[in-house]
A = this chain, B = another copy of it.
Amino acid sequence: MGRPSLIDSTEGIEKRLAILDAAASVFMNLGFSAASLDDISDAYGATKGIIYYYYRNKSALFFAVQRRAMELTREAIEPHALAGGSPAARLRGMAHDHTLLMMEHLAYLRVAAQGLELHLTGRTTASERAELEDILKLRAANEALYMRVIEEGVQSGDFRPMDPKLLVKPLLGALNWTSRWYHPRKNETAKDRERVADELAGFAVSALLPHPQ
């Protein structure tokens, strides 16, 4: 049977994540085309050999960063989506933790935005398109978690009557836009990020609530 490969060991997983952190930050700063594996191995602080042990090439790293961004997003929102509680309380939890995630893993989410942009322009090879389609499915699954809570809220009357399939788009736009405008400030604290997450969660919930007029 042989010994388990380094790739599957705890040490291997930790190394993979550290490589992805380095790759995310390089792609964020340089963009996919300009970034090189040398930049990434420099940022990681090791030779290219160790990176090639885990990842076939630059494209594989680019997609792995995007995949991880979608997984991190799911981990942030799914527990709230599936929890008990009112649709408004669950949506608030999702939007809050989603926003916090974007601020704390900015590089991953910004690279995910780059990937979406690349997909929209369509200048990709067939195998890249297959990878991008796969990531779009993860993105769609996260969107479905939001849609599910919106639909429940519309049915229960907690939210205004609306078309959930349409309204989920500006809702995600409001949250995803964070990766465009947010830049960590000098001396920023966890409390500062908490305040941003609270305000954005309030915005998201308020957008769906009924209101007297």
A residues adjacent to B (C-beta < 8 A): 28-31, 33-34, 88, 110, 113-114, 116-118, 120-123, 160, 162-163, 166-167, 169-178, 180-181, 196, 199-200, 202-204, 206-213
Among A169, A170, A196, A213, the one with the most B-chain Cβ atoms within 10 Å of its Cβ is A170
Other A-B pairs beyond A30-B122, A170-B203, A210-B211, 19, CB < 8 Å: A28-B120, A31-B117, A31-B118, A31-B121, A34-B121, A34-B123, A114-B117, A162-B199, A162-B202, A166-B196, A169-B177, A170-B177, A171-B174, A173-B173, A173-B176, A173-B178, A173-B181, A206-B207, A209-B211
**Contacts A180-B116, A206-B207; is A170 near B200 (CB within 8 Å)?**
yes
A200 surroundings in chain B (CB, below 8 A): 170
Q: Give the dominant DSSP class at A's interface.
A: helix
A33 surroundings in chain B (CB, below 8 A): 33, 123
A88 to B200, alpha carbons, bound, how many Å? 19
Nearest Cβ in chain B — how far from A76, in angstroms? 17
A120 to B170, Cβ gap below 8 A? Answer: no
A207 to B207, Cβ gap below 8 A? Answer: yes
Among A116, A177, A203, A204, the one with the most B-chain Cβ atoms within 10 Å of its Cβ is A203
Using CB atoms, name the residue of chain B closest to A196: B166
Partner of A180, one of B29, B120, B181, B211: B120
